């Protein structure tokens, strides 16, 4: 007992130095229950170390002490200055220790050190997991904020654009309902007129004492001659024949005036880098729906969700596979939208041995671009065209228009790289863009091509605008034309022969259409020559239908009379379409709307054509 009490003061400095060491190392882990167990073991003289310490310690019975607290030590420091000072102080006040006691103290120190290393907490992994979770949460928050911005933009688009359009459409529908009501009243009026006419017809037949024609035919087939030819009887005095007045009949035009339809041809429309909702933007494409009555398509570009094409089709060539944007398996990265006719596509196909997948004349553009590039491609084309070509592999956009600008093309380009293209300017006027100032809509220059770089976000940047042909120069495609017997020099007979050959070739190459061909005939020199040559070449090409000619003019006009004589001479199937000055005046507004210009000569020449479209399309 005395020995145990004598050892008690030695442990107190050890506890204090252990606390100081743990505070210096920054890793303090206390365990009251464990220290209590260790203290009890030391007081009983038997300490058995856990296998995790890697040691076997057996306390000598002579060793006694009170251990109240166990400190975790830093594995790199076996002793600390405070521990040494405490030990020195203890040595000064306590009797000298034996070697066995020192060995026991060292074991106790090593045990405390190992225990502190065992219970030391390492929060590094938990901290890294927490940081990763916070990063993922921040990413989700950013995505949520982006989605909110998108919803806000779509909502503002709906409020500012869609709702006013819906309101206008509702007003249009109300007008349609009013027209339906008028139509119902009109049908009732027609029914009443028919009933009156039937009563008057029955009354007239009764007064004329004749059987209806249908009954007469039945009796004749039954060979009842005695019934129809009655035996002679005393003649009655002849009664004066009553004159039947024709009842007044309404005119449909009084209730439904004829509305001339606009001319029809293919219409193209495309956007690149739109910031607005495409479902709203595509409504602008419907403003040119009159250009293509056969089919319509709206298609997004793969990989560029803010880029799209729209196409209104008038099927001239390959009515089965000619829908656009045109894409073929050999060039899946090319998107083509074009309006026009390429007259030499078969010649180029044969010369360069291209492998066609469709019968569309525009497929030649894809093959020529792939082999020669955009400039050489446009130079080799003989025809009238306007196109938009997209190369997603090289991220390029190309625009082009024929030498004389026969096919229209308009574009709108903003400062931030948003590009919109359309066959008519009216398809671009309501396009939504991010610019605060109005953006100019300009016609694309004839005989030119333009190259744009396509960015990842769908925006574009113009990098090249060049002319590929001038009308004063010989076209590059002339080297591949099949025109023979062209003379050289300026002798009169040579010039006349060349004019005839070139003129006939110009008419012949326009016979490539898969639909029926007709000709407008005014009776003048130009149209008469074209019509006469067309009839001649149609016989040579063995077309399966007669060539039709159409003359447009007022009643008794000189043009109509002259066209009638020319048609009789060349043997065409001739039709005449007349109109009154009042109809021409009513058509002016529509003519200007579709021409998109006020040029007097152009408007004057287009009035009759617009009036004649509906009758011509019936044939």
Q: Each residue of 528-582: pLDDT tens digit?
A: 999 999 999 999 988 888 999 999 988 888 999 999 999 999 999 999 988 888 8
Q: Which residue has the higher pLDDT, 67 or 450?
A: 450
Residue 374 has pLDDT above 70, yes or no: yes
Q: Which residue has the higher pLDDT, 60 or 503?
A: 503
- pLDDT bin (cut points 50, 70, 90) of residue 259 is very low
Residue 441's pLDDT is what? 94
Residue 202 has pLDDT above 90, yes or no: no
Mean pLDDT of 456-482: 91
Mean pLDDT of 137-158: 86
- pLDDT bin (cut points 50, 70, 90) of residue 436 is confident
DSSP 52: G
Residue 524's pLDDT is what? 93
Q: Contact 296/269 with Cβ under 8 angstroms?
A: no
* Pairing mode, strands 326-328 and 331-342: antiparallel
* Pairing mode, strands 267-272 and 304-313: antiparallel
End-to-end CA distance of the chain: 132
Task: Write down the catalytic residue from 129, 266, 282, 284.
Answer: 266
- pLDDT bin (cut points 50, 70, 90) of residue 337 is very high
Q: pLDDT of 210-222, one tens digit each?
A: 555 554 544 455 4
Whether this prediction's pTM lies above 0.75 is answered by: no
Q: Which residue has the higher pLDDT, 508 or 68?
A: 508
Alpha helices in 45-98 (DSSP H): 81-93
Least confident of 11-25, 106-120, 360-374: 11-25
What CATH number labels 484-617? 3.40.50.620
Q: Contact 609/263 with Cβ under 8 angstroms?
A: yes
Q: Per DSSP, what are the bridge partners of residue 335? A: 390
Q: Using CB atoms within 10 A of its CB, is residue 468 exposed (0-12), middle (13-18) or buried (19+)?
A: buried
Residue 5's pLDDT is what? 41
Residue 209's pLDDT is what? 57
Q: Which residue has the higher pLDDT, 215 or 499?
A: 499
Q: Using CB atoms within 10 A of its CB, is residue 63 exposed (0-12), middle (13-18) or buried (19+)?
A: buried
Which helix (H) or strand (E) segment is 443 a member of? strand 441-443
Helices 525-541 and 558-570 pack at an angle, to 10 degrees, of 30
Q: Which residue has the higher pLDDT, 164 or 539?
A: 539
Closest CA to 384 of 336, 447, 326, 443: 447
For 329-389, the DSSP string reads: TTEEEEEEEEEEEETTHHHHHHHHT---SS--TTHHHHHHHHHH-HHHHHHT--EEEEEEE
Tell me which range, 46-50, 201-205, 303-307, is most confidently predicted by mean pLDDT.
303-307
Residue 256 has pLDDT above 70, yes or no: no
DSSP 472: T
- Whether 266 is a known active-site residue: answer yes
Q: pLDDT of 56-91, one tens digit each?
A: 434 443 333 333 343 444 444 444 444 444 444 444
Euclidean distance between CA atoms 517 and 548, whole angstroms: 7
Q: Per DSSP, what are the bridge partners of residue 270? A: 309, 421
Which helix (H) or strand (E) segment is 464 a member of? strand 460-467
Residue 224 has pLDDT above 90, yes or no: no
For the chain, give the percent of residues with pLDDT over 90.
35
Least confident of 34-43, 134-143, 457-466, 524-533: 34-43
Average pLDDT in the chain: 78
Euclidean distance between CA atoms 317 and 303, whole angstroms: 30
- pLDDT bin (cut points 50, 70, 90) of residue 228 is very low
Q: Contact 340/402 with Cβ under 8 angstroms?
A: yes
Q: Which residue has the higher pLDDT, 577 or 619?
A: 577
Q: Which residue has the higher pLDDT, 616 or 95?
A: 616
Least confident of 224-228, 311-315, 533-537: 224-228
Task: CATH number for 267-477: choose from 3.40.640.10, 3.60.20.10, 3.20.20.70, 3.40.50.720.
Answer: 3.60.20.10
Euclidean distance between CA atoms 424 and 404, whole angstroms: 17
If one counts every other C-beta atom within 10 angstroms of the C-beta of residue 199, the result is 11
Domain range annotation of the chain: 2-119, 145-220, 267-477, 484-617
């Amino acid at each position: 007992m005395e020995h145990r009490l004598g050892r008690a003061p030695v442990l107190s400095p050890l506890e204090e130095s252990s606390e100081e060491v743990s505070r210096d190392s920054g890793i303090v882990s206390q365990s009251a229950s464990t220290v209590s167990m260790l203290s009890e073991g030391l007081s009983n003289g038997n300490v058995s170390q856990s296998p995790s310490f890697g040691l076997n310690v057996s306390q000598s019975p002579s060793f006694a002490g009170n251990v109240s607290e166990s400190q975790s030590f830093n594995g790199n420091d076996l002793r600390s200055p405070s521990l040494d000072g405490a030990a020195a102080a203890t040595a000064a006040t306590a009797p000298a220790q034996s070697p066995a006691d020192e060995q026991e103290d060292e074991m106790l120190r090593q045990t405390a050190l190992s225990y502190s290393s065992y219970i030391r907490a390492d929060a590094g992994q938990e901290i890294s997991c927490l940081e990763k979770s916070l990063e993922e949460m921040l990413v989700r928050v950013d995505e949520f904020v982006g989605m909110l911005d998108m919803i806000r933009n779509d909502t503002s688009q709906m409020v500012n654009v869609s709702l006013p359009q819906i309101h206008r459409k509702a007003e249009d529908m109300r007008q349609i309902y009013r027209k339906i009501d008028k139509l119902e009243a009109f049908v009732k009026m027609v029914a009443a007129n028919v009933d009156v006419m039937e009563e008057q017809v029955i009354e007239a037949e009764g007064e004329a004492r004749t059987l209806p024609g249908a009954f007469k035919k039945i009796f004749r087939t039954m060979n009842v001659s005695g019934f129809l030819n009655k035996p002679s009887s005393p003649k009655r005095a002849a009664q004066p024949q009553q004159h039947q007045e024709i009842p007044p009949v309404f005119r449909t035009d009084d209730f439904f005036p004829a509305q001339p339809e606009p001319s029809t041809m293919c219409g193209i429309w495309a956007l690149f880098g739109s910031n607005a909702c495409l479902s709203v933007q595509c409504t602008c494409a419907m403003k040119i729906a009159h250009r293509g009555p056969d089919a319509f398509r709206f298609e997004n570009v793969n990989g560029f969700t803010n880029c799209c094409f729209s196409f209104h089709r008038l099927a001239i060539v390959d009515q089965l596979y000619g829908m656009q944007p045109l894409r073929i398996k050999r060039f899946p990265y090319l998107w083509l939208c074009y309006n026009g006719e390429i007259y030499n596509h078969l010649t180029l196909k044969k010369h360069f041995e291209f492998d066609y997948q469709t019968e569309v004349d525009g497929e030649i553009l894809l093959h020529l671009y792939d082999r020669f590039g955009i400039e050489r491609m446009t130079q080799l084309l003989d025809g009238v065209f306007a196109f938009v070509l997209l190369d997603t592999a090289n991220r390029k956009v190309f625009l082009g228009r024929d030498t004389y600008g026969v096919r229209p093309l308009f574009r709108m380009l903003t400062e931030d790289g948003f590009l919109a293209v359309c066959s008519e300017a009216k398809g671009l006027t309501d396009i939504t863009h991010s610019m605060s100032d109005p953006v100019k809509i300009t016609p694309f220059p004839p005989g030119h091509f333009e190259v744009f770089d396509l960015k990842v976000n769908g925006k574009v940047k113009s990098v090249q605008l060049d002319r590929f042909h001038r009308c004063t120069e010989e076209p590059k495609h002339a080297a591949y034309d099949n025109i023979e017997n062209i003379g050289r020099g300026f002798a009169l007979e040579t010039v006349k022969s060349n004019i005839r050959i070139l003129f006939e070739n110009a008419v012949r190459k326009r016979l490539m259409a898969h639909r029926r061909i007709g000709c407008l005939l005014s009776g003048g020199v130009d149209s008469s020559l074209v019509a006469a040559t067309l009839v001649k070449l149609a016989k040579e090409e063995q077309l399966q239908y007669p060539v039709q000619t159409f003359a447009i003019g007022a009643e008794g006009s000189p043009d109509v009379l002259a066209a009638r004589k020319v048609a009789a001479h060349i043997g065409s199937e001739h039709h005449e379409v007349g109109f009154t000055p009042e109809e021409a005046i009513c058509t002016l507004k529509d003519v200007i709307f579709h021409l998109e210009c006020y040029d007097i000569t152009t408007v004057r020449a287009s009035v009759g054509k617009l009036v004649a479209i509906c009758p011509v399309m019936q044939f």
